[in-house]
Structure formats: C-alpha cells, structure tokens
Amino acid sequence: MENLLDKMIVEVDQLIREKNLSGNESWWEKLLGQFQQLVTDILVDVQSFRSRVPEFTDLIFAELSKPGSKTNIKNFLHEKLRDFAENSFNRTDYSQLNAIIGKHGCGDLENCRIQLTQEIDKQNILAAQKAIWVLVLAVGIFGLGMIRKSQPNPKLVLALGLTCVTLLWGGISTPMIVIDAKMSQLAFQLLGESVVFENQVLYFQSKSITDVVTILTSTGKADMILVGVLVSVFSIAFPIAKILASLFYYYDVGGLRYNPVIQFFALKSSKWSMADVMVAALFMAYIGFSGLISSQLEHLTQASQHVKVLATDGTSLQAGFFLFLGFCLASMVLSGLLEKMVEPLGFEYGGKHRSETDTSLVKSAEKSHRVQLS
C-alpha cells in the first residue's frame, strides 16, 4: 500500500507539470502555465506528502478495518464478481439434470447421485447373477452332450443350439468391459480456504459389441465403417451363420447337409472364426487399460504435495465378456459333437468328389443311423 501511494503521488505531480508546462502555443499561455506551476510548487510540497505515506497507509488500514467498511467492501466485491461471471461465462443449461432429478424424485443432486449409484450397483449384481446362471446351465447342457456315449439326439442338439444363441446374444448385447477412471476426492488450499471436489470422472466407457458397431458405422468415415463391418461380420454374422449351419446340418433341412457352405460353417468354421481372437484381444485390452489408468492416477496423486488426490480405477470385465467367451467354447464343443456324428455315417466333408453310388450308400447308412437314434 505504501508503494502504491508513493507511486500515485509521483504520477499526479508529473501529470500536473506536463499540463502546465507543455502544449502551450502562445507566449501568454506559456507564461500563464509557468505561473500556475510556480503557485503549485509553493502551495503543494510533494516531498512532504511522500514522507507522510506511512501515516496515510495506517489511516487507510484503520478505515478498512472498521466493521462497516468490511461489509461495504465485501458487498462491492460480490457485486463485481457477479457482474464478471454473468458477462464472462455462458449460462449452463441444467434442464437435462433437473429432468433426471425430477424423474427419480431425488430432491437434489447429491441425493440423486447416491440413489442412482446404489441402483446401478444393484443392477450390476443382478446382471452378474443372471450371467452366472446362464453359464452354469450352458455347462450342464454341453456336459450332458459330451458324456453321452451314443450320438446326440435331436432334442439335445436343439438345446445346444439354443444355448449357443443365448450366449451369443448376451455376449454381443451387454457391455464387455468398463473403463472407469475417476478421482474420489481432489482437495487443495486456496487463499487459506479448503477447496474440495468429489467424484470427478476423468474417463468412462461401457460399450457392447453392438454399441461399438453402431458408433463406428455412424461416423461416416470410410476407415471407421470398414472396421465396424469387420467387427459385425466376425463377431455377429459369422457366429450366427455357424449356429444356423450346425442346425441345418444336423436336421438336414431341405437336404442341405451336403452343401459346401453348410458343411464349412458347421464343421470347419471354428478354425477360421475370429471370435476367440477377439475375446483374447479384449482381455489383453482390459489388462492394458487397467495398468495404464492405475499408473497415470498414481502419477497424478504424486504430482503435487499441496494437492490431495484420492484416485479410483474402476476398470473391470463385465458379463458380456464371459457370455461371449462361453459362446466361443460352446460353439467349438458343438462342432466337435457334429464331427462325432459324421464318423459312423461314413462320408467325407469338404473332400473328394463322390460318385452317385457312394452318395446313395451314405444316405442309406445315414437313414439307418437316424432310425436307430429315434
């Protein structure tokens, strides 16, 4: 304050001198300006004012320390800050937030956050329980098919096919991995006051295979569309074709058992399917994301001694991953069971061309075998 007052006195003195001694064109104006400056120097002792700066400073602080002055200054600063905020920042649209709060009847933001977090945790537990039951039933059904010494009967094959469909649908329609990085608490000191932010989400993604395909194809970019098409072909279309071909092959729908395409998808597609590769890639991505997020959050925590950060890495594999993994294993088992059925029928698939006599003998043996099964 003393430096500021001293600087103000010097600047005022310089302004008065410039006004009196410069800018005068006629001799009369110059003479009048010099006379005004002479009177100013006689009446105003600038050096005396500068020597009394500490006294003026004490008087100013004494005036500012009065309760009424503090209140006036605080009100003035609040008013200026409000004007600054209104003129400097865009207004935030809280309509969506208010709609969510009104929909769930939370009352306020904090209660709504707690209520929705509890509901999400409840639904996640329910989804995990249902996924476990589906996997247990799938293991039981396929275990029954593998331990049977005789060939699988039509009802069992139908059950195996429906199980594969259920696992596939659950695998592609529910999230496989959740990538969640957030700060539970960020605290620091500002002008002697504690400033705390809680539940600050840095990054969050939770997508299923169908969500990923939709996002990629909706970008309109050729490379993204190509990736989306490849994902949909190898993760959705290829598995569906495999299940349908297996059922067509076993039940010989429309006499298509000897169709090369049906035989390929039913008996050989496991060697060409990328489903198992994708599951392995997702698992490696989970490990990579989890390690990366944990490392970066640790660096953030250690970045400053004056900032307290409680970081949380919520990355986790979801039910969709395990259901899709179950489908990959189940489809391989189903192919193995169909190959067991091929052996006693005595015909080749995907091999050399048969003669009409060989084909008729095969069909007769197959018919006899089906009679035995029934």
pLDDT value for 49: 81
- Does 299 score more than 70 pLDDT? no
Q: b/e per residue, 276-302, with b = 16+ CB within 10 A? A: bebbeebeeebeebbeebeeebeebee
Secondary structure percentages of the chain, helix, strand, coil, to 5 = 75, 10, 15
Taking CA atoms, 28 is separated from 32, 51, 82, in Å, by 6, 36, 53
- Does 59 score more than 70 pLDDT? yes
Report the distance separating Cα 1 and Cα 53, nearest Å.
9
- Does 191 score more than 80 pLDDT? no
CA angle 3-9-15, nearest 5°? 130
- Does 58 score more than 50 pLDDT? yes
Choose among 311, 51, 285, 46: nearest CA to 179: 285
Q: How do residues 251-296 score in pLDDT, each as one tens digit?
A: 888 888 788 888 888 777 665 555 556 665 665 565 555 555 666 6
pLDDT value for 352: 40
Which is more confident, 218 or 305? 218
pLDDT value for 62: 85
Share of the chain above pLDDT 70, in %: 75
Taking CA atoms, 156 is separated from 54, 209, 243, 266, 306, in Å, by 100, 29, 14, 16, 66
**The residue type at 56:** F
Report the distance separating Cα 220 and Cα 216, nearest Å.
8
DSSP β-bridge partners for residue 197: 186
Q: How do residues 41-51 score in pLDDT, each as one tens digit?
A: 787 788 888 88
> pLDDT band for position 355 (50/70/90)?
very low
pLDDT value for 374: 45
- Does 354 score more than 60 pLDDT? no
Question: Do residues 330 and 160 make contact, with C-beta atoms less than 8 angstroms apart?
Answer: yes
Pairing of strands 193-207, 177-190: antiparallel
- Does 370 score more than 80 pLDDT? no
Question: Do residues 185 and 310 make contact, with C-beta atoms less than 8 angstroms apart?
Answer: yes
Span 169-174, average pLDDT: 86
- Does 52 score more than 80 pLDDT? yes
- Does 23 score more than 80 pLDDT? no
Lowest-pLDDT range, 34-38, 77-81, 89-93?
Answer: 89-93
Pairing of strands 316-317, 177-190: antiparallel
Kindly report the average pLDDT of the chain as a whole number: 75
pLDDT value for 350: 43
Which is more confident, 290 or 2? 2
Phi, psi of 175 (to 5 degrees): -60, 140
Which is more confident, 370 or 321? 321
Which is more confident, 303 or 69? 69
DSSP state of 199: E
